[in-house]
Amino acid sequence: MFIVEVDEEHAREKAKQGADYYLKPMNCPCHVQIFNQGMKSYRDLPLRMAEFGSCNRYEPSGALHGIMRVRGFTQDDAHIFCREAQIEDETKQFIELLSAVYKDLGFEKFRVKFSDRPDTRAGSDAVWDKAEAALKSATEAAGYAYELNPGEGAFYGPKLEFVLTDAIGRDWQCGTLQVDFVLPDRLDATYIGEDGAKHRPVMLHRAILGSFERFIGILIENFSGRLPFWLAPRQVVVASIVSEADGFVDEIVALLKKHGLKVEADKRNEKINYKIREHSTGKVPVILAVGRKEMEDRTVTVRRLGESETQVRSISDLLAELALEATPPDLRA
């Protein structure tokens, strides 16, 4: 963890109190504190919380690797508070969600690893036996085979690791699901059961992408920079062929932006072939060229990345086509 340095006088005073300050390495305790606000009933479970949480971890300098492994990252973190009887169903739902997200992002296959208790851990062996059995049973019930990954669980519970293989054959652990009986006990999380007594919830820690930074790196390599149109940071560039077309370029850009497309104008005093070459190198999926003829006919010349042929299209027809392509696959009719 990153230790926060303060002035010497403040540090001496805090040292007397046994207090230290650290940058947040995980989001889990914060979610337990939210759960602990007010009284919870068994009827409230499963209770799911999610956030895009920023975390900081003091990774060894030798382990840092571009955006694949960093010291400050954002995680699509979520925690599910449930009863033991709900673990199986929540696990199945999570794996189905993860599979759908990975498929939309172009990953049809992934491997599942089961990581059991590490040497240094919190909780008794009896608690770990129960957690490991519950997670194995839930994974098998969901219809997924898994590889054993001995001793690689978190300090508070066993976990499933969802592993993607990038374009050059490297494996990256992205999604995770962890069963935790320990943290709710240590942070005194409770709910009122059907019998009117207090019970400890089970806490499921889950992430689909894991580190956003790492996943972006995997996507870039997997698609060789040519991200799908709906995912590309720059979807369209509208380039002028002659300066007289600048106003028409602005009109088209405004129309495309109005329909939610990520579009830029290129009105530089450069030849059109130069502009096309530059934006193609930048992996822009669609380049629209606009000159005098296009202005007169209210059309655009369309060049798609990787295609040598161009098309002359009306703006209305092209707009409908691009709007559909810009919609994530799971939201298309």
Q: Catalytic site residues?
A: 28, 57, 75, 77, 79, 159, 205
User: Rounded to 10 degrees, what is the CA torsion of 226, 232, 234, 236?
Assistant: 80
Which of 131, 98, 101, 100 minimizes the C-alpha distance to 112?
Answer: 98
- Tell me the HSE value of 233 on the side-chain side, using a 13 A CA sphere: 7
Give the single-character DSSP code of 229. T
Buried b (16+ CB within 10 A) or exposed e, 64-102: eeebbbbeebebbbbbbbbbeebbbebbbebbeebbebb
Pairing of strands 111-115, 147-149: parallel
Question: 3-class DSSP state for residue 156?
Answer: coil
Q: For residue 66, which amino acid is it?
A: G
Amino acid at 12: R
Residue 226 CB neighbour total at 10 angstroms: 14
- Give CA–CA dist 178/118, Å, rounded: 13
For residues 263, 269, 274, 276, the Cα torsion angle rounded to the nearest 10 degrees is: 20
Phi, psi of 175 (to 5 degrees): -75, 155
